[in-house]
Amino acid sequence: MPIYMDRHDVPGVTAKDVAEAHQADLKVQDRFGCRGLTYWFDEERGIAFCLVDAPKKESVQAMHNQAHGLIPHQIIEVDTHLVESFLGRIEDAEHIDHSETYINETALRALIATDLKGSPLFRSDFGLRKATELFNIHNHIIRSQIRKHDGREVEYGGNGLLASFTSISKAVHCALEIHKEFQKYNDQSHGENLDVGIGLNAGFPVTENHDFFGQAVLFARRMCFLAGQGQIMVSSEVFELVKREDISVFSDRAYIRILSQREEQFLNQLFDFIDERGLDSTLSILDLCKETGLSKSQLNRKTIFLTGYTPNEFIKEFRLIKSLELIEKKKGNISEIAFESGFSSPSYFSKCFLKRFGRLPSDFASSIH
């Protein structure tokens, strides 16, 4: 059967109340073909998440309604491997007696996403053997710090990793140590620098986005895309959480950039639009102005300040990164890739590619295939 996670926003409810509700679920679950696996509850924020093995969403809702009337605000289907990777467990320990033990463990997780800048060009620049060695060094540095700071590796994407942390503080210190270790490696290397951008975010497993930890992961990766070489970008959520503990951890560090909520809102609006329309060769800056409600000069200033690119440059960078992926996957010839990446002509695509990556797309394709 599928596995579902639901979210209950229950301000004012205690850990004891939630434990009793979970016990009530277990008493009636067989009537609905369900099996309550475990739950997480954050008493401070009044948010609970239940993990349930069930035939369909409606069964989870009916079980809760019958047991205690606390109807979930949202239910999504989840993958048990991802649940365990992000949250650390998928079932209660066998010895737990919920009549005596009240779970008050938040499902909030700090997330670190990393991006090894320029990595798609490694095979072309260094050859397969050296490129593999560099990737292995990169992976070892990051994975050793994730383990050291009690994080869990969630995903490996070739040019970066995604990790989950129960402790916000440990996630922050992990990011700082990753930066330090790469700086140390680069100081000792002979021109083969490993420059890693880091995105540091936090979030809950079920939000308006129907993907598990979808919004938190998406923005962490977007920060990676924007982070300069060796830069750590920190979300407003992480910054606010760290302020409760020790704000000095971010002091006097030029490589750290902290975003405000308003900046995040604009960046997400920009990325959402580019994700949807970025590969459309007819896209114009006026379309982006209309989407954001800004004049051309306002859009230009804001985009440059937050991304380092003009709007046109930002769209072009998005398309060029997409073209690298398509070439690596052998998705068509160079002309087809040019159009699929949103360029108006193969010749203009080749010109932009050469300027950005120092080689023609055809040469890059030949070197890696």
232 located within any domain = yes
How far apart are the C-alpha atoms of 1 and 4, rounded to whole Å? 10
**Enclosing domain of residue 332:** 261-369
Tell me, yes or no, whether 68 and 209 share the same domain. Answer: no
In a domain? residue 189 = yes
What integer pLDDT is reported at residue 99 of this predicted model? 57
Does residue 101 form part of some domain?
A: no
Q: Cα separation of 243 and 127, whole Å? A: 45
CATH, residue 300: 1.10.10.60
> Which of 56, 87, 118 marks a domain boundary?
87
Structural domain count of the chain: 3
pTM over 0.85: yes
State phi, psi for 232 to the nearest 5 degrees: -110, 120
Residues 268 and 235 in one domain: no
Per-residue pLDDT at 245 exceeds 90:
no
Confidence of residue 102 (pLDDT cuts 50, 70, 90): confident
Coil vs helix vs strand at 109: strand
Shared-domain flag, residues 81 and 13: yes
Per residue in 42-56, pLDDT tens?
999 999 999 999 999
pLDDT tens-digit map of 283-322: 989 999 999 999 999 999 999 999 999 999 999 999 999 9
Do 199 and 223 form a contact (C-beta atoms < 8 A)?
yes
Do 211 and 120 share a structural domain?
Answer: yes
Of 235, 313, 312, nearest in space to 267 by CA = 235
Assigned domain for 239 exists: yes
Q: State the DSSP code for 359.
A: S
Q: Are residues 118 and 212 in the same domain?
A: yes
Check whether residue 266 and residue 238 sit in a common domain: no
Final residue before a domain boundary, out of 243, 259, 275:
259
Same domain assignment for residues 201 and 282: no
Q: What's the CATH code of the domain at 249? A: 3.30.70.1230
pLDDT of residue 96: 58
pLDDT at 19 over 80: yes
Q: Which residues make Cβ contacts (< 8 Å) with residue 196, sequence separation at least 6?
A: 114, 115, 116, 117, 138, 142, 160, 178, 179, 182, 229, 230
Q: pLDDT tens, 158-210?
A: 789 999 999 999 999 999 999 999 999 998 877 788 999 999 999 999 988 78
